[in-house]
């Protein structure tokens, strides 16, 4: 039941509005299986990955300017699936290296989710990355990313600080797996 | 630290691309405090509310077609802040009545979050709604919303079924407050 396609959903017409670097916008008239036609503004998106990198007793967060909302946000490292055909786990490994300069020996899927399914196609794959090692990396200056290690023992305080949906989900998933001493089970 | 505005962020230029019913799209060149100009595709959005309605031992979910992603999704009831100036709590009360036909005597804020802050302005305010009573309501036929009551005792199974970010966050917030017998603390 969790993922149930709308069988018989048809596209009556689709008007491309804009093709951008990150998003494409179209206005689509869908024909539902019962015949009703509904108009939707749809933002195409290739999907993304978000990683929960746990380095011993700390989770590695990133802090970066998000101009669209006018704030510096504290987030888990993440990235778009912008290489066509690249599997999500390969993208996660690449982005973890780029954003926080770490490789992980152990990867575990923590599931996935749509960020704004009424309007945006984006589906985010979530991974736990452990057994980390530091690697050489060259941060992309324009991204102005700062790595913020945060003690797992203070995970509740971190969750209170975070206002980004994908990061909240990743952190709350691991919060349920911490033992009393703040170690990941 | 959690919400820190980017002081001195300027707008070098802004090109409106599309004004829609739900979203507006612009391409904006921002000037960062350090002088660097960055180009962003920005989707304006009025923000939204999501409610966790707990009716005794059950949480009231909704199931609806989401054409943009081609699926029926199981979600918490939610709605856009589409009445200018309307406080989020007033919107939450209105949407709870519209979508699930309930009024709540007790409301509690569960915080808020951005759904996709790299591209989308949307900020969602999350509320816990308890002490529910049934009220007369006329569902909007086009929305094809089905109310799905789910036992709180099976909340982990529900969280495994849900693939919508705002709903996962609302459910995981209350999961941490359930006692061993599945009652909300």
CB spacing of B22 vs A41 below 8 angstroms: yes
User: Treating both helix axes as pointing N-terminal to C-terminal, what angle do A165-175 and B165-175 enclose, rounded to 10 degrees?
Assistant: 30
Q: Which residues touch B86 (CB under 8 Å, ≥6 apart)? A: none
By Cβ distance, the residue of A117, A160, A173 closest to B66 is A117
DSSP of A61-128: EEEEEEGGGTEEEEE--EEE--STT--HHHHHHHHHHHHH-EEEEEEEEEEEEES-TTTB--EEEEEE
What pLDDT is recorded for position B162?
A: 98
Q: Each residue of B10-36: pLDDT tens digit?
A: 899 999 999 999 889 999 999 998 889
Nearest chain B residue to A158, by CA: B2
Among A31, A68, A109, A171, the residue to mutate for chain B (most B Cβ within 10 A): A68
Among B116, B124, B163, B176, the residue to mutate for chain A (most A Cβ within 10 A): B116
Among B119, B141, B142, B164, the residue to mutate for chain A (most A Cβ within 10 A): B119
- DSSP letter assigned to residue A54: E
By Cβ distance, the residue of A6, A121, A168 closest to B72 is A6
- Report the alpha-carbon distance of residue B109 to residue B124 in Å, rounded: 11
CB A13 within 8 A of CB A29: yes
Residue with tokens 């802050």: B117
Q: How would you classify the pairing of strands A48-55 and A37-44?
A: unpaired
For A42, the token pair is 């749809």
CB spacing of B67 vs A6 below 8 angstroms: yes
Average pLDDT over residues A8-14: 90
* CA distance, residue B27 to nearest chain A CA (Å): 9
Nearest chain A residue to B176, by CA: A176
Of A19-23, B24-28, B50-54, the least confident: A19-23
| Nearest one of A65, A68, A140, A64 to A97, comparing CA atoms | A140
Half-sphere exposure of B20 (CA within 13 A, CB side): 25
CB B110 within 8 A of CB B126: yes
In chain B, % helix, strand, coil (3-state, to 5) comes to 20, 50, 30
Residue with tokens 């004004």: B19
Q: Which residues touch A143 (CB under 8 Å, ≥6 apart)? A: A64, A99
Q: ∠ CA(A101), CA(A109), CA(B50), 5° rounding?
A: 100
- pLDDT above 60 for B1: no
CB spacing of B68 vs A118 below 8 angstroms: yes
**Can you name the residues that pair with B30 across neighbouring β-strands?**
B11, B38
- Report the alpha-carbon distance of residue A48 to residue A44 in Å, rounded: 12
- pLDDT above 70 for A1: no
| Nearest one of B171, B52, B117 to A166, comparing CA atoms | B117
Q: Which residues touch B60 (CB under 8 Å, ≥6 apart)? A: B53, B54, B77, B100, B102, B132, B147, B148, B149, B150
Q: Which residues touch B153 (CB under 8 Å, ≥6 apart)? A: B57, B181, B182
Q: How far is CA A171 from CA A53, A54, B55, B172, in A?
A: 10, 11, 27, 10
Chain A residues whose beta carbon lies within 8 Å of the beta carbon of residue B126: none
Of A11-15, B7-11, B41-45, the least confident: B7-11
CB spacing of A18 vs B25 below 8 angstroms: yes
What pLDDT is recorded for position A2?
A: 52
What pLDDT is recorded for position B93?
A: 97
CB A48 within 8 A of CB A80: yes
Nearest chain A residue to B18, by CA: A17
Average pLDDT over residues A159-169: 97
First to last CA, chain A: 29
Q: Each residue of B62-109: pLDDT tens digit?
A: 999 999 999 999 999 999 998 988 999 999 999 999 999 999 999 999
CB spacing of B165 vs A161 below 8 angstroms: no
For A57, the token pair is 């007793």
Average pLDDT over residues A154-163: 96
By Cβ distance, the residue of A115, A160, A176 closest to B116 is A115
* CA distance, residue A68 to nearest chain B CA (Å): 6
* CA distance, residue B172 to nearest chain A CA (Å): 7
Nearest chain A residue to B36, by CA: A142
Chain B residues whose beta carbon lies within 8 Å of the beta carbon of residue A31: none
Chain A residues whose beta carbon lies within 8 Å of the beta carbon of residue B6: 65, 67, 70-72
Q: For all residues of chain A together, what is the average pLDDT? A: 93
Interface size A-B, in CB pairs within 8 Å, comes to 197
Burial bucket for residue B139 (CB in 10 Å: 0-12, 13-18, 19+): middle
By Cβ distance, the residue of B6, B30, B41 closest to A20 is B41
**Can you name the residues that pair with B29 across neighbouring β-strands?**
B13, B39
CB B149 within 8 A of CB B61: yes
Q: Which residues of B are catalytic?
A: 144
């Amino acid at each position: 039941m969790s993922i149930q396609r709308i069988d018989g959903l048809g596209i009556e017409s689709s008007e491309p509005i804009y093709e951008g670097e990150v998003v494409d916008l179209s206005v689509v008239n869908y024909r539902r299986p019962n015949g009703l036609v509904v108009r939707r503004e749809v933002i195409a998106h290739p999907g993304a990955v978000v990683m929960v990198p746990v380095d011993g007793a700390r989770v590695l967060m990133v802090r970066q300017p998000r101009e669209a909302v006018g704030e510096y946000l504290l987030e888990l490292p993440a990235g778009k699936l912008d290489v066509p055909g690249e599997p999500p786990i390969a993208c996660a490994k690449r982005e973890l290296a780029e954003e926080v300069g770490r490789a992980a020996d152990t990867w575990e899927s923590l599931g996935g989710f749509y960020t704004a399914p009424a309007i945006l196609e984006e589906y985010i794959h979530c991974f736990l990355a452990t057994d980390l090692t530091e690697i050489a990396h060259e941060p992309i200056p324009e991204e102005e990313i700062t790595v913020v290690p945060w003690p797992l023992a203070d995970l509740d305080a971190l969750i209170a600080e975070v206002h980004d949906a994908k990061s909240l989900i990743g952190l709350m998933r691991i919060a349920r797996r911490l033992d009393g001493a703040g170690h990941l089970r």
